[in-house]
């Protein structure tokens, strides 16, 4: 994803390179969804929500981009809230409001404040990469070795490995039902909220 971002920013008028970036984002997003069950131990829901899959606030994002008094770099992006960072914000930046209209996306990166939008995209992609790399180190035998601790936590107590996995399966299934299906459909409120669906900008919600 980071490589695709860099390639596109170097030639932000290229529709072909934008398509490559969108494909790289899609691969990263699906990979994260497949990994999100394992938000325990060194990574938890709070970290994931803040740095990886926070729900985007489009007004906040555009306000940050248009505020030319604040430079766009790692130092200014790192403190941003979950509504202004992560994979979902990257999705918004590279797909925009108009599905299948890459010309409007290209215009946003080449027009007014286009360089700031490029800088934000670059910083956000690197932030996701850095958080993912840190998690690999936490889990791996070559790093903090949490995988050894997890495998050694046998038994039936609450923090035993099997208990953690079962609890996460239950929580994950409940979240899938209540947040990712019920809320967009408006089952609880009686009012559908399609803006709450996953991957709404890329139109990849079903997958």
Q: Which one, of 89, 83, 27, lies nearest residue 60 by Cα?
A: 83
Q: What is the pLDDT of residue 201?
A: 93
- pLDDT, tens digit, 9 for 90 and up, residues 173-199: 998 898 889 999 999 899 999 888 889
Q: What is the pLDDT of residue 207?
A: 86
Do 73 and 119 meet the contact criterion of CB atoms below 8 Å apart? yes
pTM of the model: 0.90
Task: Choose the weakest-confidence range: 34-48, 91-105, 106-120, 149-163.
Answer: 34-48
Q: Residue 166: which pLDDT band, with cuts at 50, 70 and 90?
A: very high
Measured distance CA(117)–CA(115) in Å, rounded? 5
The structure tokens 């829901």 sit at: 45
Return the structure tokens found at 48: 């994931």
Residue 202 clears pLDDT 90, i.e. is over it: yes
Q: Residue 49: which pLDDT band, with cuts at 50, 70 and 90?
A: confident
* Dihedral sign from CA coordinates of 12, 199, 58, 102: positive
In terms of Cβ atoms closer than 10 Å to its own Cβ (0-12, 13-18, 19+), residue 40 is middle
Query: What angle, rounded to 10 degrees, do the helices at 58-66 and 114-139 form?
Result: 120
Q: Residue 66: which pLDDT band, with cuts at 50, 70 and 90?
A: very high
For the chain, the first-to-last Cα distance in angstroms comes to 19
- Residue 58: how many CA atoms within 13 Å on its side-chain side? 10
Q: What is the pLDDT of residue 45?
A: 66
More confident: 42 or 141: 141
Q: What is the pLDDT of residue 13?
A: 96
Measured distance CA(164)–CA(154) in Å, rounded? 11
């Amino acid at each position: 994803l980071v490589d695709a971002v860099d390639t596109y920013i170097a030639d932000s008028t290229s529709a072909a390179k934008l398509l490559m970036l969108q494909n790289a984002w899609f691969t990263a997003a699906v990979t994260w969804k497949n990994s999100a069950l394992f938000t325990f131990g060194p990574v938890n829901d709070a970290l994931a929500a803040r740095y990886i899959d926070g729900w985007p606030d489009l007004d906040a994002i555009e306000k940050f981009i248009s505020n030319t008094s604040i430079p766009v770099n790692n130092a200014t992006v790192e403190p941003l809230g979950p509504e202004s960072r992560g994979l979902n914000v990257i999705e918004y930046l590279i797909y925009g409001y108009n599905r299948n209209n890459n010309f409007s996306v290209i215009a946003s990166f080449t027009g007014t404040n286009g360089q700031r939008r490029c800088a934000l995209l670059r910083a956000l992609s690197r932030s996701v990469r850095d958080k993912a790399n840190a998690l690999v180190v936490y889990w791996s035998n070559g790093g903090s070795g949490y995988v050894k601790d997890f495998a050694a936590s046998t038994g039936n107590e609450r923090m035993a490995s099997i208990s953690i996995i079962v609890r996460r399966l239950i929580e994950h299934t409940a979240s899938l039902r209540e947040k990712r299906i019920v809320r967009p459909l408006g089952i609880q409120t009686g009012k559908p909220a399609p803006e709450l669906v996953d991957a709404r900008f890329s139109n990849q919600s079903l997958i």
